[in-house]
Every structure is written in C-alpha cells, then in structure tokens.
C-alpha cells in the first residue's frame, strides 16, 4: 500500500483510508465480521481509519475501538463531531460546550486516550469559527488531539478558518474532507486548490458516489436499493430514484464508464477510485466497504494508475469542476435551503 504525508502534518498515511460508516447497524450489524474487516485492511497495509461519533449513534466508534485493541499505535485514527447525538439541542454542533464533552465520549468509545485527527463534520452557522478553533486548539495543546480538520467546508469557509486561526493564535485546520468522485467534481473548482494552497491534507469521501460507480446500478436492472443497507435506503433514497432526471443522467454515464473500464481491463470501481487519487491535492481516498468481500475487491485496485488519454475521456464524460447531479450534495448552506435568509423582510422591501 502506497503512503504519503497527510498535508504538512508530517503524519504518514496510506493512500487508502478505511471509512467505517457501514460498520454497525447502518450497514453490517455483525460486530465480529466488522472487526475482521478492519483487521483485513490493516494487514493489507492500510494504516488510516476514519469514523465519526454519529455513525450508528456511536456504535461504529465502539466497533473500531474493539478492532484496534493491541494495534492502536500503528494506526492513524480520525473521527468527527457535529451531528446531533440526542434530542437536546446542545448535544450537537460546533460549540465549545459540546466539543469539549463529546471528544471525551469518542475517546471512551474508541478505547484510546488520544486522536490523531479530530474533524468538524459540517459547518455550523450558529457558532463562530473562532469558538470552534479555540476549543480544538486547547485539545491539541492538551495532547488529546494531534491534528484537526474540517469536512464539507466551502473554499471561503476554509479561508475564513485559516485567517481566524492566524489572527487569534489558534491551531489551523490541518485537513479537509470533501466528497469527490467522477460524479461529484465540484470541489475541483475551488475547494481542492484552496486546501492545496494552505498545505492541507485532503481525505476525500464517497469515491464510488454512494455505490453508483460500482457498476451495480445499470439500465434495465432494477434500482438495487434493497442491497444498500439501511443508511442509503432509509436516509438517502433520492440518490437512487431512477425516475428523477439527475439519476437518469447518472445511468447514462455509468454505461459509458463500464465500456471505458472494460477497455482498460478494470472494474468500474477501480477506475473510479484511481481517478480520485490522480488529483495532486488528494492525500488519501476514503473507501467505505460493508463486507470483507467489498474491501478485498477495492484493495485489489490500490496500485491502479490512469494515463492522460483515459483522464481526457473521463473529462469529456463529466466536465471538470462540475457535479453531475447537484441535488446529490450532502450539505446545503442554510442560505440556499431557507429562502428567508436571502430575502429582505417584506416591510423593508416596501411591501
């Protein structure tokens, strides 16, 4: 397994990072099988594991903790905080109050006394970035966290965080974790260049576009959603409804990708993952298998590289810097989702 430095942190990580969202009730409920999956990845040379407190309500962190007993020091361990962990509105977000409490919960579930990387899972418009960076900096100085990162931050939010850190004497974000795949190339426009400009490590997620780039979803073969596990089928079914125009477009592109992959002598999944690793800003790509068999298939493509001729054909299928189906975005800024945030009150409009 090839290694690289995680941005300017000096931490050496494998080019594949094991994503664990599918370990536990959202995907694979067999804890013993999940532990075997983690060990298979480690034995294959993967030294980088990413999880989050909210995955399966904390169950996933507990599974990872079980799997790392006796092997913790050989692993670069990353987790995330932000999403609600209960009904109390203070049990979530990016406040000092919540982060200070939740980092202890993650450490307990993971069975460790430090985290190699602690990430803010999503932006929080209700919390000043100064507040968030302040508590994260305290955790770094206390030795509970080695490095800090963001996830799904826009380029302007990355810049704001960097400027805030410089002006207030905080530790800056060391990494960014954006979605990136052949179907979601929007981050090429500004997020990846901005992270690269600041020397940030980039660990990208969903290289297979929630399973679309495995070749499982094909024209005339049903929607396949029943095979996805509860997270995808229950929480993001709109990404697989083939009656929607955006998903119909994905079906058409998949057919062309299957043909191109066959010409290259590759499975579509290997082509898709290799594409992500081609970008110079990307340190590691997060793969999120649900079974050992899926993991083994992805690991077989770890050394695949793509030449310029293939990359040019991929650019022709999905233009650089564009998202094939913008409605697939997992994070929508509040001012896009809430019309009141982009409209003056009626009384000020003269109505």
Q: Per residue, what are the HEC states of the chain? A: CCEEECCCCCCEEECEEEECCCECCCCECCHHHHHHHHHHHHHCCCCEEECCCCHHHHHHHHHHHHHCCCCHHHCEEEEEECCCCCCCCCCCCCCHHHHHHHHHHHHHHHCCCCECEEEECCCCCCCCHHHHHHHHHHHHHHCCECCEEEECCCHHHHHHHHHHHHHHCCCCCCEEECECCCCECHHHCCHHHHHHHCCCEEEEECCCHHHHHHCCCCCCCCCCHHHCCHHHHHHCHHHCCCCCHHHHHHHHHHHHHHHHHHHHCCCHHHHHHHHHHHCCCCCEEEECCCCHHHHHHHHCCCCCCCCHHHHHHHHHHCCCCCECCHHHCCCCCHHHHCHHHHCCCHHHCCC
Per-residue confidence (pLDDT) for residue 329, from 0 to 100: 79
Residues lower than pLDDT 50 in the chain: 226, 230
Catalytic one of 55, 114, 180, 198: 55
Per-residue confidence (pLDDT) for residue 256, from 0 to 100: 96
Q: Is 114 one of the catalytic residues? A: no
Q: How many residues does the chain have?
A: 351
- Could you give the percent of the chain with pLDDT greater than 90? 81
Give the domain 3-346 fold.
Answer: TIM Barrel (3.20.20)
Instruction: List the chain domain ranges.
Output: 3-346
pTM to 2 decimals? Answer: 0.92
Q: Residues 7-58: pLDDT tens digits?
A: 999 999 999 999 999 999 999 999 999 999 999 999 999 999 999 999 999 9
């Amino acid at each position: 397994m090839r290694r690289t430095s995680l941005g300017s942190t000096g931490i050496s990580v494998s080019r594949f990072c094991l994503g664990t969202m599918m370990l536990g009730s959202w995907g694979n409920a067999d804890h013993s099988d999940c532990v075997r999956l983690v060990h298979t990845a480690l034995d294959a040379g993967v030294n980088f594991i990413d999880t989050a407190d909210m995955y399966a309500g904390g169950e996933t962190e507990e599974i990872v903790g079980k799997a790392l007993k006796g092997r913790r020091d050989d692993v670069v361990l990353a987790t995330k905080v932000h999403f609600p962990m209960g009904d109390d509105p203070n049990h979530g977000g990016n406040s000092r109050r919540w982060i200070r409490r939740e980092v202890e919960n993650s450490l307990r579930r993971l069975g460790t006394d430090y985290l190699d990387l602690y990430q803010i899972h999503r932006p929080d418009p209700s919390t000043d970035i100064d507040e968030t960076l302040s508590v994260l900096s305290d955790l770094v100085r206390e030795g509970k966290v080695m490095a800090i990162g963001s996830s799904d931050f826009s380029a302007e939010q990355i810049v704001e965080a960097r400027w805030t850190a410089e002006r207030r004497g905080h530790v800056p974000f060391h990494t960014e974790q954006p979605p990136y795949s052949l179907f979601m190339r929007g981050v090429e426009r500004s997020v990846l260049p901005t992270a690269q400009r600041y020397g940030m490590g980039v660990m990208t997620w969903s290289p297979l576009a929630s399973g679309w780039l495995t070749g499982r979803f094909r024209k005339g073969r049903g929607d396949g959603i029943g095979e996805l596990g509860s997270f995808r089928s229950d929480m993001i079914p709109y990404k697989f409804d083939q009656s929607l125009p955006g998903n119909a477009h994905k079906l058409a592109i998949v057919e062309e990708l299957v043909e191109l992959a066959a010409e290259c002598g590759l499975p579509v999944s290997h082509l898709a993952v290799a594409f992500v690793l081609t970008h110079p800003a990307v340190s590691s790509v997060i793969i999120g298998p649900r079974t050992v068999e899926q993991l083994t298939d992805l690991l077989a493509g770890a050394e695949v590289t793509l030449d310029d001729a293939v990359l040019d054909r991929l650019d022709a299928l999905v233009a650089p810097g564009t998202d094939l189906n913008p409605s697939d975005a997992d994070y929508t800024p509040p001012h896009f989702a809430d019309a009141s945030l982009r409209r003056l009150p009626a009384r000020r409009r003269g109505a």
